Structure 1
Amino acid sequence: MRTSEADLERMSLSRLLAVAGHVVAMHWQRLMGGYGLTPHGLAVLASLERGSALTQRELARHCGIAPSTLNHTVDHLERSGWIERRREVADRRLVRLALTETGRRQLRQAQGAADSQMEPMLDHLPPGDERIVRDFLLATVLRFQSMDDALPDPAPSRPAL
């Protein structure tokens, strides 16, 4: 069911931001699904493209993805041949994740689709307002991330008895 424009107008800014984020995320999910990716998978590939191989823990923190979700994502990306696990020579217990050349090509294709299909959806934003919206969204993301960083890691959940 769609939310009416009048209902959207009455929402608090925080709720409206959450709704907008959800609607955009659903479009991202559909688009990335056509490339065998989830938004989390895209975030992982993009993170690995930017730097050196990362451990799964480092990657989870870097992408803002729960470790349990990242496990499934990493398994899928590895099965697809887009990332690989590499054991550290100095400490064989340590495994790092790295982008493969196939993964790099997949990432470029998905990013090209996002540029050609998602960016035009924002053509209703006047060019002079883009910097204001970008600054607001950036500050909001950083503020919420800093709040998350200040929280202790949740204790592992126990099965209900």
Structure 2
Amino acid sequence: MLPVELVNLHDIPLGRLLVVAGQRATARWNKLLADRFGLTNSGMSVLLALHGRGELTHGELALLCFVKPPTLTGIVDTLEKGGLVERRRDGADRRAVRLALTLDGAVAAQSLISLIRNPRPLTSVDADPAKAQVIREFLLEIIANMTDTEAAEVPILHGEESS
């Protein structure tokens, strides 16, 4: 394996730049969620998935949050302890449990939605609607095209990709 050179961010390939930008944005977002809402990104996903949907089964919620059901259990446990989500027995099948937002959970979800929908641009580039549309198309195509197999094959180190 060739040694990886440390280079100026302006020189690294687009794929690696996307990874670095994603890491920085994720760290900033996670800090905001923790500081302002006491949530993780996973907790936020659960609140947003339940918002406006009423009650969902554990499996339905796991699908909406892109996690496996066992992973969701711990997330829901934390949200339930925080008074944001509650488990309810299904009226038709007492063995089944449905998940729903509490009043505090609904308020938190609405606050998150307002924050996410904030129209303020992140940068001077996305302040330009034409450029923002190109960025949006680029990111949506990456999301649509990345499967687990493909993601594992995408090189992210300087000098390893063709873009």
TM-score bucket (shorter structure): 0.7 to 0.9
Letter aligned with residue 45 of structure 1? L
Mapped to 2, the partners of 1:33 and 1:76 lie a distance apart of 13
Letter aligned with residue 26 of structure 1? A
Mapped to 1, the partners of 2:55 and 2:70 lie a distance apart of 20
Offset, 1:41: 0.8
Mapped to 1, the partners of 2:68 and 2:21 lie a distance apart of 22
1:36 corresponds, among 27, 38, 51, to 38
Specify which structure has the higher proportion of helix. 1
Mapped to 2, the partners of 1:53 and 1:122 lie a distance apart of 38
SS at structure 1 position matched to 2:87: strand
SS at structure 1 position matched to 2:30: helix
Please, which runs of 5 or more residues in structure 1 have no aligned partner?
149-161
How big is each residue's C-alpha offset from its partner over 1:61-81, in whole Å with a ceiling of 9 and x where there is no partner?
Answer: 211124343222111111111
- Which residue in the other structure is 2:51 paired with? 49
Mapped to 1, the partners of 2:47 and 2:112 lie a distance apart of 10
- Which residue in the other structure is 1:156 paired with? none
Which protein is bigger by CA-based radius of gyration?
2
Mapped to 2, the partners of 1:25 and 1:131 lie a distance apart of 21
Q: Structure 1 vs Structure 2: percent identity of aligned residues?
A: 38
Mapped to 2, the partners of 1:124 and 1:130 lie a distance apart of 7
Mapped to 1, the partners of 2:9 and 2:107 lie a distance apart of 39
How big is each residue's C-alpha offset from its partner over 1:78-125, in whole Å with a ceiling of 9 and x where there is no partner?
Answer: 111111111112222221111122111112233444556x95433442
- Which residue in the other structure is 1:22 paired with? 23
SS at structure 2 position matched to 1:97: strand
1:136 corresponds, among 133, 138, 153, to 138
Please, which runs of 5 or more residues in structure 2 have no aligned partner?
1-5, 149-163
- Which residue in the other structure is 1:151 paired with? none
Tell me if the contact between 1:31 and 1:114 (Cα under 8 Å) persists in the aligned partners.
Answer: no
Mapped to 2, the partners of 1:123 and 1:70 lie a distance apart of 37
Mapped to 1, the partners of 2:89 and 2:68 lie a distance apart of 22
Tell me if the contact between 2:33 and 2:41 (Cα under 8 Å) persists in the aligned partners.
Answer: yes
Tell me if the contact between 2:42 and 2:75 (Cα under 8 Å) persists in the aligned partners.
Answer: yes
1:28–1:57 CA distance, 2 compared to 1 (3 A) = same
Over the residues paired in the alignment, what is the CA RMSD in angstroms? Answer: 2.6
- Aligned positions, number: 142
Mapped to 2, the partners of 1:115 and 1:44 lie a distance apart of 18
SS at structure 2 position matched to 1:122: coil
TM-score (norm 1): 0.74
Write out aligned runs for 1:1-161 (5 A).
6-34=7-35, 35-114=37-116, 119-125=120-126, 126-144=128-146, 147=147
